[in-house]
């Protein structure tokens, strides 16, 4: 190779890779598959070693960071502060408003009545409108609907917050074709 400096060689190698990425990756994957087929035990051991390759280094780095940043430890107080910041930043509501919403809902999901726990807190449900990122906190607060569990929050999102789709899904669940003689009762 006529490139003399390590930096120039590195730039050349990267540009060559990106220009020929598909063929190089395909050849590399084919070689990897062939090696796995020829010696599956060795491949399994290499996978295991790869997972733990930097384990000690990451562990030491994390330990060092924690010693130098005692304010950022995962304590109940820091969790509460982070939650308060997120609620204000994302939805324009304070932690006290979140807790008052919890109390008014009886500490349960507004849809399925699943209880709020420390491990699985209720999510803030809001109307999805255009321009959410450019709104002020006061404007965002107007669109908060209530608190729902993670499952209900995902279900609403997957149904695009459209009541007509949710009604169709409910009709589908209780239809004769799929109910197998049940009278619209859904197993818990």
Residue 32 and residue 112 in one domain: no
Residue where a domain stops, chosen among 53, 68, 86: 53
pLDDT in tens, 45-56: 887 887 777 788
Q: How far apart are CA 163 and CA 109, in angstroms?
A: 18
Structural domain range at position 33: 6-53
Structure tokens at 38: 């020829």
Assess if residue 66 is contained within a domain.
Answer: no
Residue 94 and residue 161 in one domain: yes
Structure tokens at 181: 């003689």
Q: How far apart are CA 17 and CA 76, in angstroms?
A: 48
Q: How far apart are CA 147 and CA 21, in angstroms?
A: 47
Q: Rounded to a whole number, what is the distance in angstroms from the first to the last CA of the chain?
A: 68
pLDDT at 178: 59
Beta strands in the chain (DSSP E): 123-126, 144-148
Residue 81 and residue 173 in one domain: yes
Residue 92 and residue 148 in one domain: yes
Residue 82 and residue 168 in one domain: yes
Whether the Cβ atoms of residue 159 and residue 166 lie closer than 8 Å to each other: yes
Whole-number Cα distances in Å, 164 to 145, 147, 171: 18, 21, 10
Structure tokens at 150: 């993670």
Residue 87 and residue 47 in one domain: no
Residue 88 and residue 138 in one domain: yes
Residue 114 and residue 168 in one domain: yes
Tell me the mean pLDDT in the region 131-137: 87
Mean residue pLDDT across the chain: 85
Burial (CB count within 10 angstroms: exposed 0-12, middle 13-18, buried 19+), residue 125? buried
- What is the domain count for the chain? 2
Whether the Cβ atoms of residue 170 and residue 186 lie closer than 8 Å to each other: no
- Give the global pTM: 0.56
DSSP state of 131: T
Residue 16 and residue 109 in one domain: no
Phi-psi group of 136: left, alpha or beta (phi > 0 → left; psi -120 to 50 → alpha; rest → beta): beta
**Count of beta carbons in the 10 Å neighbourhood of residue 143:** 15
Tell me the mean pLDDT in the region 139-159: 94
Assess if residue 149 is contained within a domain.
Answer: yes
Question: Which tops the pLDDT comparison, 61 or 187?
Answer: 61
- Give the whole-number percent of the chain exceeding pLDDT 90: 35
Q: What is the CATH number of the domain that holds 81?
A: 3.40.1800.10
Structure tokens at 45: 């051991």
Residue 118 and residue 151 in one domain: yes
């Amino acid at each position: 190779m006529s490139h003399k400096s390590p930096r120039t060689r590195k730039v050349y190698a990267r540009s060559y890779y990106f220009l020929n990425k598909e063929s190089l990756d395909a050849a590399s994957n084919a070689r990897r598959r062939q090696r796995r087929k020829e010696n599956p035990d060795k491949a399994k051991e290499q996978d295991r070693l790869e997972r733990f390759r930097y384990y000690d280094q990451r562990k030491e780095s994390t330990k060092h960071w924690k010693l130098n940043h005692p304010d950022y430890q995962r304590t109940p107080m820091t969790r509460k502060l982070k939650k308060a910041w997120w609620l204000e930043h994302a939805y324009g509501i304070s932690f006290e408003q979140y807790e008052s919403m919890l109390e008014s809902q009886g500490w349960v999901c507004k849809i399925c009545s699943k209880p709020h726990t420390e491990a699985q807190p209720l999510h803030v449900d809001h109307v999805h409108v255009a321009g959410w990122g450019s709104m002020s906190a006061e404007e965002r607060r107007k669109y908060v609907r209530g608190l729902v569990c993670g499952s209900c929050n995902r279900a609403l999102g997957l149904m695009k917050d459209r009541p007509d789709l949710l009604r169709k899904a409910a009709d589908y669940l209780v239809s004769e074709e799929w109910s197998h003689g049940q009278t619209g009762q859904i197993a818990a």
